[in-house]
Structure 1
């Protein structure tokens, strides 16, 4: 399982990378592997205000449908249309081409560093 050290993580298996005032959000390789082949995603819309820990979309795989949880409070500023068109990219490159959306954070998120996330997933 890959856990890039430069990213932050949620206990719900989302990752977040902050660059200036915009953060990119995706799901971790652990989540992508657990879901299996991802066939459909429903993302929040640009302009949506989302709340940390609340569902903001869905990820459907050949195994199940799972909620996508907001990693922080904020406003959605961009979605990854390429991932919507090719959800399999989330399985093949969850930390790159498989990013899901970008947001402007307005509330302090409760995030884990790579070591804490690794400990969480190894304990699962």
Structure 2
């Protein structure tokens, strides 16, 4: 079973074995509006939980994408360079940003499951 977790900054993590697929939630892309540019990290870069991992720019604003987990970037979604709109069209599918080799699986325990994230969104009203 695929495990999806969320941060309060609206990043998601989809765990596939010892690799985490990272992107922004549907809520986040909706808040940003039309995404026009995505800056992705280099493969091999070490990222730390809570630190900047990527940048997303929309017609409204530029925003950091924070690493939900500590790990090493093993793949980036290069399709976003030519088609940043994928983030709007399918944020939790084809619009993913990067894949991390998870350094500390226990960090997943700090993230919200889908139910908890939906409850969190309800508080943002």
* Paired residues for 1:47-86 under 5 Å: 47-86=44-83
How high is the TM-score relative to the length of structure 1? Answer: 0.92
Supply the RMSD in Å over aligned alpha carbons. 1.2
1:94 paired with 2:124, answer no
Question: How many residues get paired?
Answer: 120
Report deviation, 1:20: 1.1
Unpaired stretches in structure 1, ≥5 consecutive residues: none
What secondary structure, in the 3-state scheme, does the structure 1 residue paired with 2:12 have?
strand
How high is the TM-score relative to the length of structure 2? Answer: 0.91
Report deviation, 1:101: 0.6
Unpaired stretches in structure 2, ≥5 consecutive residues: none
The list of structure 1 runs, each at least 4 consecutive aligned residues, that deviate by more than 6 angstroms after superposition, is none
Q: 2:33 aligns with which of 19, 33, 36?
A: 36
